[in-house]
Structure 1
């Protein structure tokens, strides 16, 4: 079922966004990249800490990531290995890749301030950092779609997040996401969605 959006361009972009796993070799203009990154940075974040970092990789570093993902795939059972190899191909295909990582700033700051049991505070702020970064990525995906660009959020790479973060020169953290970005090599049909009525519960 389509979103009732009329002429609302934001809702149009949300509805038309697709996960694209193969890209053309057309380069993404730097001005588009900056627009997308600024949109991601406008996401709501817990205590306005913006405890995320956007790492843009191309060329040699992107090739190193492809190699890492392909090499690590062999260490996992078949289902995960297949998805990791698919992810490596998507990264290789894209002209640019954005890696998103938590900084740990909110976790460190919050656990010092909150006068509650330390493990409870850690879980609380860890969850808020993850939620904040996920919101930033959603902004990134929709902003890219609005500029005619294609993306895919490669969630399977969470299996090797610490290795990916080390390759990026970042400390190990609670969250990591890899988003290949470029122009779609082919159109993708709208995925079948679960009946909307099953997804909403009304209480009074």
Structure 2
């Protein structure tokens, strides 16, 4: 891997201006550049060109999506980005349709991706504590993992033929933050995933 494309999916709100996600993006950029990677960044708060965004996906060996968890998913502005950019990329630049044939349309849905050999990593910030996941005694998530919660996002990248790197998460960032430890864990995670 040489080229890393980072997407800052944060949508600013009065209670959440986006400093943590922006800092994690800056940290990833700095550390990856120091390791010899080339890095490009797109932020949802900036204007973007659809064709250029598709080119960034094609250029990248790996994509990092840095996003808060808003109402159990990505913010609306990143969903709009996906609807716009990813739909335009269905012309063969990101995927060549859904992988099925007219001869047998019931088989192999989701195998049309043209970004095979590329990887992606989700980096999430959320209010829920770590203890809310992976524990069937916790009422809300019912024992599910953070990757279970983000299964649709994983499927989006799988649709393009990409493979996942291990997900990173900063938990409990509003009620019980441990931000300095999160930064240290993120640094170790980047070293492990992009060694």
Could you say whether these structures have the same fold, taking a TM-score greater than 0.5 normalized by the shorter chain as the test? no
Structure number with larger C-alpha Rg:
1
TM-score relative to the length of structure 1: 0.27
TM-score relative to the length of structure 2: 0.28
Higher normalized contact order (CA 8 Å, seq sep 6+, divided by chain length)? 1
Q: Comparing both structures, which one devotes a greater share of its residues to helix?
A: 1
Q: Comparing both structures, which one devotes a greater share of its residues to strand?
A: 2
